[in-house]
Structure 1
Amino acid sequence: MSMMQANLFFKLSEKEILKSFLHTLLFAFISFPLHAETLTGQIIGISDGDTATLLTSAHQPVKIRLGQIDAPEKAQAFGEKSKQSLSELIYGKNVSVEVETKDKYGRTVGKILVGNLDANLEQVKRGMAWFYVQYGHDMAYRDAESKAKASRLGLWSDISPTAPWDWRHGTKADGTKSLETSSVLSTSTSGSSFSCGSKRYCKEMSSCEEAKFYLQHCGVQTIDGDRDGVPCEKLCR
């Protein structure tokens, strides 16, 4: 082999090594999502089974939506139990939050860690939340859901639990409309009756009572943008 051929061979080898390295690096970026930011502080509020308020070390309150999971809404079966479960896990505790993104409501989406305990994953393990298929990427969450379901833990003790994303659209697990969206229910406070109709926005509500009815009985989440359980802030302040 001539000197020129040898130099060409080594140059080609270097290119192949570099190419292989770049492919490996790219795979690492894809396989392990980077966390742009980590927040630390104390949990000072629990809204429901997948939403909490963090008081950061800079004394700023931040609404945290637990990523990759979806807990029952408060008006659903196990809604309150899911909230209580999350409270037991994180309320009043010092935590770190691995930030993933922000949702359309402006909430910080991420993983809440109490020491080495993944609170998001623990909610799924306890049967207090679903693996959020649409936004999930960690198969450990899917496996945890399968185990909780097989053991009939928490919400899985129901024969056919309705996923919150279906409930928000008024659909039961079997595809039929839920009772809340097909029945005419009365409000005990005013003596008047409301029924689940086509209203979806606060501007269509005539009163705070009607807004609460639509949120609690019809599953209309568009009137509770920050998902704090209080609809139409201007009407219900």
Structure 2
Amino acid sequence: MPLGLVFLTVAAAAALATQSAMQHTDRIPDIGVSNWFGSRPEPIAGVASVIDGDTIEVHGQRIRFNGIDAPESKQYCSDAKGFDYPCGRRSADALDAFLAASRPVHCTFVTWDRYHRFVGDCQRADGVSVASWMVEHGQALDWPRFSHGAYSAQQAKAEAAKLGLWVGTFQAPWEWRALPAGDARPSSQPLGIISRSQVAQSFSCQPRRTCSQISSCDEAQWYLNNCPWGGKLDRDGDGIACETLC
């Protein structure tokens, strides 16, 4: 076969292959970097639903505030008098009131967390930083592991003024989550089971206890009815303390 005819045949085949590829590009998967790692999402703006003190939901997307950590929904802390209160719910309530004063919230993306939540920096409509406000008012903590101390100055102000969590004592949320079932550390010498007839003679309001440290329904009810801190054992307010025991 003449050399010129060979070149002509090869060129025709190449042209046909190119045309076929162009006609079917919609079937070829995009294997760019953005598909391997996930593209950077656009900022999110809207009216937020509060999940807890450091997490909101906007347009169905969970958003975790970057660099801070707030008490968990079921977490209790102690106030200045040593009485327990639901600091997790109080933090969420404070966030809800703060966001309601200037809507909508606007969040810019920082990263994805392990729960595939959008981790971002959020501001109210008036430009106030949500994370900064929460820490400065003692409703959340600077989380150095992720913030690298970005909110340490706000935290120092809240601690000095004894605002929010700083009015009493508390566990850092990341420490509280590390405890079994998120409860307080159990006593090293838990009470034994005590009969009903021995209740009044055997129980004492000192030290304060949690349901995980209580051995019977009678004991729990005695604390509820006789101790100033007993109300924390009846979280749903139905008059029955530590319902798993009763």
Alignment TM-score, normalising by the size of structure 2: 0.52
Question: In 2, are the aligned partners of 1:38 and 1:97 still within 8 Å (CA)?
Answer: no
Question: In 2, are the aligned partners of 1:40 and 1:94 still within 8 Å (CA)?
Answer: no
SS at match of 2:144: coil
Q: CA separation of 1:47/1:89 partners in 2, compared to 1, >3 Å: closer, same or farther?
A: same
| Per-residue Cα deviation, 1:31-70 (whole angstroms, up to 9, x for no partner) | xxxxx55523213411100000012xxxxx2110011100
Residue 169 of structure 1 aligns with an amino acid whose one-letter code is A
How far apart, CA to CA, are the structure 2 residues paired with 1:50 and 1:126? 13
| Per-residue Cα deviation, 1:135-168 (whole angstroms, up to 9, x for no partner) | 11353x111001101111001001x311011111
Could you tell me which runs of 5 or more consecutive residues in structure 1 were left unpaired when the two chains were aligned: 1-35, 56-60, 188-216, 218-237
How far apart, CA to CA, are the structure 1 residues paired with 2:170 and 2:210? 15
What is residue 129 of structure 1 aligned with on the other side? 140
Residue 110 of structure 2 aligns with an amino acid whose one-letter code is E
How far apart, CA to CA, are the structure 2 residues paired with 1:48 and 1:186? 32
How far apart, CA to CA, are the structure 2 residues paired with 1:105 and 1:186? 38
What is residue 54 of structure 2 aligned with on the other side? 50
What is residue 45 of structure 2 aligned with on the other side? 41
Q: Which of 125, 149, 158 is matched with 2:159 structurally?
A: 149
Q: CA separation of 1:94/1:186 partners in 2, compared to 1, >3 Å: closer, same or farther?
A: farther
What is residue 73 of structure 2 aligned with on the other side? 74
How far apart, CA to CA, are the structure 2 residues paired with 1:149 and 1:48? 21
Superposed counterparts of 1:62-211, under 5 Å? 62-77=61-76, 78-91=87-100, 93-114=103-124, 115-137=126-148, 139=150, 141-158=151-168, 160-170=169-179, 177=185, 182-184=212-214
What is residue 234 of structure 1 aligned with on the other side? none
Alignment TM-score, normalising by the size of structure 1: 0.54
Residue 97 of structure 2 aligns with an amino acid whose one-letter code is E
Q: CA separation of 1:145/1:38 partners in 2, compared to 1, >3 Å: closer, same or farther?
A: farther
What is residue 32 of structure 1 aligned with on the other side? none
Could you tell me which runs of 5 or more consecutive residues in structure 2 were left unpaired when the two chains were aligned: 1-39, 77-86, 187-208, 218-241
How far apart, CA to CA, are the structure 1 residues paired with 2:48 and 2:147? 26
How far apart, CA to CA, are the structure 2 residues paired with 1:183 and 1:144? 36
Question: In 1, are the aligned partners of 2:48 and 2:104 still within 8 Å (CA)?
Answer: no
CA offset at residue 185 of structure 1?
A: 7.2
How far apart, CA to CA, are the structure 2 residues paired with 1:150 and 1:49? 21
Q: CA separation of 1:186/1:125 partners in 2, compared to 1, >3 Å: closer, same or farther?
A: farther
How far apart, CA to CA, are the structure 1 residues paired with 2:144 and 2:211? 25
Give structure 1 regions of 4+ aligned residues with deviation exceeding 4 angstroms.
Answer: 178-182, 184-187
Residue 128 of structure 1 aligns with an amino acid whose one-letter code is Q
| Alignment size in residue pairs | 142
